[in-house]
Chain A
Amino acid sequence: MKFIDEFRRSDLAQAVSARIQQRSKTPARLMEFCGSHTVAIFKHGIRQMLPPTIDMTSGPGCPVCVTANTDIDKSIALAKIPGVILATFGDMLKVPGSYSSLQEAKAEGADVRVVYSTLDALAIAKENPDRKVVFLGIGFETTTPTIAASVLQAEAEGIRNFSILSQNKVCPPTIRALLDLGEIRLQGLICPGHVSAVIGSHPWDFISREYGIPCVVSGFEPLDILQGIEMLVAQIESGQSKVEIAYRRGVRPEGNRKAIEVIEQVFQPCAASWRGIGIVPGSGLKLRPRYERFDADLAFDIQPGPTREHAGCLCGEILRGVKTPADCRLFGKACTPENPVGPCMVSHEGSCSAHYLYGEDHGE
């Protein structure tokens, strides 16, 4: 399959792996920010192909995992308001908030519907004029353009019973917040490919410039990731720090202008709460005043009640890269994909799920 098979060739992968083994002398901790990278790294067994000098750490980049309990609780409370249909991407269904999940709310009678695109949520709104349809806006820059487009379409078509509960987030401010915490020392960062396809590679410049950390934007096939690691190793060994793109077929330095414009037209930055990291200024997106009537936060009186965290769950630390799933005493015991305690085990793109499903250690 074009653009897939050629990036999974064993001979090429082995050759890149051999070059990394040969070149890498300096012990280096590399972080992949993005959850899709984490899954791909585990699914393809990439860690096994790296020399002992390279320590791969997973970052916070799973949109489901980083959603704070307060926001999940809010979504559940909203779903329970009579007359509301809450449309969401499937990933969010099972994530436990403080006391329950959207899945449990659905079982108790809330009208929660899984959609595959925001436009499906708009279609539900059109089919149910007497109900209020709220789309749960979760995701990074990758998904935000389609959510913004749905608001514009709702406006153009005069759909009045549609709104967005925006929990959308942007990545660069959070990487800065993570680095400013000073808990981890990174020698290289694999920057998210899908996010960069929208915003380009320039928004990562500050990481190499201000923090001296080499960055490579990588795709999601095994060869993409190996190439990204090889480019990081080359920078590390030659003492450089710059932003490079190992995903030219998907990412341009300036990004996708049209997608950026539609985001900027509909949304404006705000502070957002990230699981494990806390409130990061400028890392969230809320609807601009012109589109306020599509803002579910303003349209409904949402009463989520008090928030609590799950005892013993290390998701927060794992998302910051300071702990690994194996450090969590719940991992593989009280917390498994069948009975997840924290979002990192629920989400397909979560670190714990990737470690559990594809790793070698099940905590046995």
Chain B
Amino acid sequence: MMGNKILLSHGSGGKRSHDLISKMFRSAFDNPLLARMDDSAVLDLNGRVAFTTDSYVVTPIFFPGGDIGKLAVCGTVNDMAMMGAKPLYLSIAFVIEEGLLEDDLRMIVESVRQAALEANVQIVTGDTKVVGQGMADKLFLNTSGVGVIPEGIDISGSNARAGDKVILSGTIGDHAIAVLSRREGLSFSTDLKSDCAPLNHLVSQMLQASANIHSLRDPTRGGLATTLNEIAAQSQVGIRIEENQIPVRREVRAACEMLGFDPLYLANEGKLIAMVTPEDAQRVLAAMRAHELGKDAAIIGEVTDKKPGRVTMTTAIGSHRIVDMLVGDMLPRIC
């Protein structure tokens, strides 16, 4: 039985490590750059390069609609896509807790492979470490990515301008509630799946529709509210959103009502918000809706020159309130 668990010796650098790397990782992510097995991948890049890194720690590592592997690829691909870059290459580092089942690792490697295929990126370098029990929570992943930014693209969280329309690509909170529903101690069942997906193809469709997309960002941890606050602060603009225009699935709303959560603060892994000039907003919206990942896209508000740095919302009943950043973790309420 010990044979199908990851052992500390899998991270020793010896034969077991080599076996793990060649049988598990190299075969899954096979491409000419990786196959060279040199100390670095040598990349041929022209023009402006986007470069990003992120670490992934999620409990549980398998959740409805994805797993930590898919999350790690999509997250890093999306970070590049939000700069308008074409993601090309990823690195992936596995920090494995001793005792992880090889079959679980294999499933995660397979979903890394699938997600990379879907996003059309290659995994060109990687690393494996095995740590003792209790030193990691089953598996931590780190991915870095490089991509190229096409000529003429200038997208940044600091480029939002008064008058821009705020477009959201779909329903919020699906990922957070899907993960939460499988978390120990929370006994509610739902068919909800994580929205975890690579957004680069959606972004490229949007960029074809308009050259006037000022800001793009994926509202991951901290949710829509926190991301909008980041853009409002970076661009020194105000943002006003309409509660009634924000798409939220019924199941997500129900879970939020039960737990005392606000969907605006729930994490997403396959959604984006775009700040687009009013003239081009409808064209971008149509392009988004034509893509599977943007079919529920909606204009949820606009950028203003009032109260720079602040996000406000017209509530469902027609009054107004501040939408602040998430502070700490959302914890279920008592009453």
Contacts and interface: CB of A to CB of B under 8 A. Distances in A.
Interface of A: 1, 4, 8-10, 13-14, 34-36, 42-46, 48-49, 63-64, 89-94, 114-117, 120, 138-140, 142-143, 194, 222-223, 336-338, 348-349, 356-360, 362
A65 B205 CA distance: 50
Given A14-B317, A46-B319, A48-B320, A63 B327 contact: no
Contacts of A64: 334
Given A90-B331, A90-B332, A349-B333, A45 B319 contact: yes
A13 B186 contact: no
Give me the 9 closest cross-chain CB pairs, A-B, nearest first. A45-B319, A90-B331, A13-B317, A337-B327, A8-B316, A48-B319, A10-B318, A358-B321, A222-B317
A165 to B, nearest CB: 15
Contacts of B321: 42-45, 358-359
28 contacts: A8-B316, A34-B335, A43-B315, A43-B321, A44-B316, A44-B317, A45-B317, A45-B320, A46-B317, A49-B317, A49-B318, A91-B334, A92-B334, A93-B331, A114-B331, A116-B187, A116-B332, A140-B335, A142-B334, A143-B334, A194-B335, A222-B317, A337-B324, A338-B327, A348-B260, A349-B333, A357-B324, A359-B322
B331 A348 contact: yes
A14 B319 CA distance: 9
Given A1-B250, A359-B322, A360-B322, A138 B334 contact: yes
B324 A356 contact: yes
A91 B332 CA distance: 7
Nearest to B257: A4
Contacts of B329: 90
Nearest to B251: A1
Given A349-B333, A359-B322, A116 B186 contact: yes
A10 B328 contact: no
Interface string B293-325: 000000000000000000000011111111010
Interface of B: 185-187, 244, 250, 253-254, 257, 259-260, 262, 315-322, 324, 327-329, 331-335
Most chain B CB within 10 A, of A115, A116, A139, A356, is at: A116
A8 B186 CA distance: 28
A116 B185 contact: yes
Nearest to B307: A360
Given A348-B260, A358-B322, A89 B334 contact: yes
B335 A142 contact: yes
A14 B333 CA distance: 29
The B interface, classified by DSSP as helix, strand, loop or mixed, is loop
A44 B331 contact: no
Contacts of B332: 89-91, 114, 116
Contacts of A337: 324, 327-328
A81 to B, nearest CB: 23
Nearest to A193: B335
Contacts of B319: 44-46, 48-49
B174 to A, nearest CB: 16
Contacts of A13: 317-318
Contacts, number: 107
Nearest to B310: A362
A91 B315 CA distance: 26
Contacts of B186: 116
Nearest to A120: B185
A140 B333 CA distance: 13
A27 to B, nearest CB: 22
Contacts of A42: 321
Nearest to A192: B335
Nearest to A223: B317
Contacts of A89: 331-334
Nearest to A88: B334
Most chain A CB within 10 A, of B250, B319, B333, B335, is at: B335
A116 B315 CA distance: 29
A1 B253 contact: yes
A349 B317 contact: no
Nearest to A357: B324
Contacts of A360: 322
A337 B327 CA distance: 6
B335 A63 contact: yes
Contacts of A4: 253, 257
B322 A8 contact: no
Nearest to A121: B185
A194 to B, nearest CB: 5
Nearest to A337: B327
Contact of B334 (A8, A9, A139, A338): A139
Contacts of B254: 1
Contacts of B322: 357-360, 362
A353 to B, nearest CB: 9
A327 to B, nearest CB: 20
Contact of B335 (A14, A139, A359): A139
A8 B244 CA distance: 10
B333 A348 contact: yes
Nearest to A356: B324
Most chain B CB within 10 A, of A43, A63, A140, A223, is at: A43
A89 B260 CA distance: 12
Nearest to B250: A1
Nearest to A13: B317
Given A10-B318, A13-B318, A94 B328 contact: yes
Nearest to A64: B334
A120 B186 CA distance: 9
B333 A91 contact: yes
B311 to A, nearest CB: 12
A134 to B, nearest CB: 17
B293 to A, nearest CB: 25
A36 B331 CA distance: 15
B335 A8 contact: no
Contacts of B250: 1
Contacts of A143: 334-335
B304 to A, nearest CB: 16
Contacts of A142: 334-335
Contacts of A93: 331
B334 A44 contact: no
